[in-house]
Amino acid sequence: MTGLARRLGTTDAVVVGLSAMIGAGVFAAFGPATAAAGAWLPLALALAALVAYCNAVSSARLAAVYPASGGTYVYGRERLGGPWGFLAGWGFVVGKTASCAAMALTFGAYVAPGHERLPALAAVAALTALNLLGVQRSALAARILVVAVVAVLLAVVVAGAAGGLHRFGGGPDVAPWDVLRGAGLLFFAFAGYARIATLGEEVRDPARTIPRAIPVALTITLVLYSAVALVLLGTLGPARLAAATAPLAEVGPGWLAPVVRAGAAAAALGSLLALILGVSRTTFAMARDRHLPAALDAVSDRAGVPHRAEAAVGVAVALLVLTVDLRGAIGFSSFGVLVYYAIANASALTLRPDEGAPWRAVPVVGLAGCLLLAAALPLPAVAAGLGVFAVGAAVWIIRRNRR
């Protein structure tokens, strides 16, 4: 069996995580989250960050023990048993494929409003081809996109702060469950750090690189998101922010709006790039274990990447781009990601001290938080997510009986 080439260092791994987290979510998630959480948006952001931190610690400790492609698919299989690993991989592949389509459509909506499907398809084709050329080139592209997006977000923060922050009050009345729903929606914007763990076979010295890269990427993202959230609340106010479809474009002078839209398009490309990387690696790992078609278990001799898995993911995303509803895809993806991390935290609870087990409260809080935020999501997203996992369980049972 041919292994993947280990070419990524700590900086590359951090950039891949940042390109997944600091993506289109930050340009779109604050409006829906404020509609749920109102003026309590900072609390919702803090809750999402807390759950993300626990997930990051659990994922980092597990990735150090199991530095293999597949992330929680591998952790669940090794620590909890085959069915849990399969369900984690199933949820990740299906949910994140939908998320890829959402990011592609977000890109299309910013560059060609009302005609988003054609540029979305072009983005999927271009980034799939880039990944097929090799992961180092993908990391370089991610680095360029991250720098551009961070620059745009910092410009929004500076412009908003310069105009004065004085509209924190007002907005819709909310209940504690609404704040949890807002946190669940904001979690979508934090979910990219798993991309580092799914590259476990492609980083140098994974036992040191992965545990370092995940917290660094998460901390940078949290600081930037907190600044953006405070500026949006302080300049637009909760009511206006809740109704905004492109809130960052409404902050600051008029010349900044097209810059923000360009940044949003770049962010969507960065997220899509990292998402295709992560989904293809989990698909490759599941095919290697024959949970997905064996034809996908192949590594390119020239580029050292799972080229068949990447091509299959690209085709699947392109098909979804032609049919998917953007809001439904985001909600469904959020549910799948939270369940995925719930399995990661449950797996981390089984680690022994000699394996680098985290403080027990971390995976406990992470597990409970993931389940709570998943349950608080809009009902259609919860129903669709439960349906997909039920299908996955049925597939596992059928395969087991045939064996």
**Which among 205, 209, 221, 192 is positioned nearest to 10, based on CA atoms?**
209
R_g of the chain, CA atoms, integer Å: 20
pLDDT tens figures, 376-393: 998 988 998 999 899 989
Contact between 64 and 358 under an 8 Å Cβ cutoff? The reply is no
Does residue 133 carry a pLDDT above 60? yes
pLDDT mean over 50-58: 90
pLDDT mean over 91-97: 84
Does residue 10 carry a pLDDT above 90? no
Give this prediction's pTM: 0.82
| Domains of the chain from N-terminus onward | 10-402 (1.20.1740.10)
Alpha-carbon distances, residue 268 vs 13, 24, 189 (angstroms):
19, 5, 11
Structure tokens at 393: 């369980």
- Sorted by sequence, the CB contacts under 8 Å of residue 39 that are 6+ apart come out as 168, 169, 170, 171, 174, 233, 238
CA distance 109 to 114: 7
| Residue recorded with tokens 């807390």 | 50
Contact between 21 and 217 under an 8 Å Cβ cutoff? The reply is yes
Structure tokens at 373: 């935020």
pLDDT band at residue 1 under the 50/70/90 scheme: very low
CA distance 338 to 342: 6
**Which among 341, 364, 389 is positioned nearest to 184, based on CA atoms?**
341
pLDDT mean over 149-167: 87
**Which among 204, 199, 252, 233 is positioned nearest to 33, based on CA atoms?**
233
Does residue 369 carry a pLDDT above 90? yes
- Residue 214: count other Cβ atoms within 10 Å of its Cβ: 27
pLDDT tens figures, 286-297: 788 787 788 888
Structure tokens at 81: 């048993």
pLDDT mean over 123-152: 79
In this prediction, residue 265 carries a pLDDT of: 87
pLDDT tens figures, 262-279: 888 888 887 788 788 878
Q: Of 190-204, 242-256, 306-320, where does the model show the most confidence?
A: 306-320
Does residue 78 carry a pLDDT above 80? yes
Does residue 280 carry a pLDDT above 90? no
pLDDT mean over 222-232: 93
Would you list the DSSP string of 237-296? HHHHHHH-SSGGGGSS-TTHHHHHHHHHHHHHHHHHHHHHHHHHHHHHHHHHTTSS-GGG
Instruction: Give CB contacts under 8 A, 24+ apart, made by 153-156.
Output: 153/22, 153/26, 153/224, 153/227, 153/228, 153/248, 153/263, 154/224, 155/252, 155/256, 155/259, 156/228, 156/231, 156/248, 156/251, 156/252, 156/256, 156/260
In this prediction, residue 139 carries a pLDDT of: 61
CA distance 47 to 37: 12
More confident call, 301 vs 360: 360
In this prediction, residue 2 carries a pLDDT of: 52
pLDDT mean over 125-138: 77
Does residue 350 carry a pLDDT above 80? yes
In the predicted model, what is the mean pLDDT of the chain?
84
More confident call, 325 vs 226: 226
Contact between 259 and 149 under an 8 Å Cβ cutoff? The reply is no
Does residue 218 carry a pLDDT above 70? yes
pLDDT band at residue 282 under the 50/70/90 scheme: confident
Burial (CB count within 10 angstroms: exposed 0-12, middle 13-18, buried 19+), residue 400? exposed
Structure tokens at 245: 């479809």
pLDDT band at residue 135 under the 50/70/90 scheme: low
- Sorted by sequence, the CB contacts under 8 Å of residue 308 that are 6+ apart come out as 295, 296, 297, 298
Does residue 141 carry a pLDDT above 60? yes
In this prediction, residue 174 carries a pLDDT of: 84
Does residue 20 carry a pLDDT above 80? no
pLDDT mean over 121-136: 84
Does residue 137 carry a pLDDT above 70? no
Rounded percentage of the chain residues whose pLDDT exceeds 90: 33
**Which among 376, 381, 338, 345 is positioned nearest to 361, based on CA atoms?**
345
| Residue recorded with tokens 């891949």 | 16
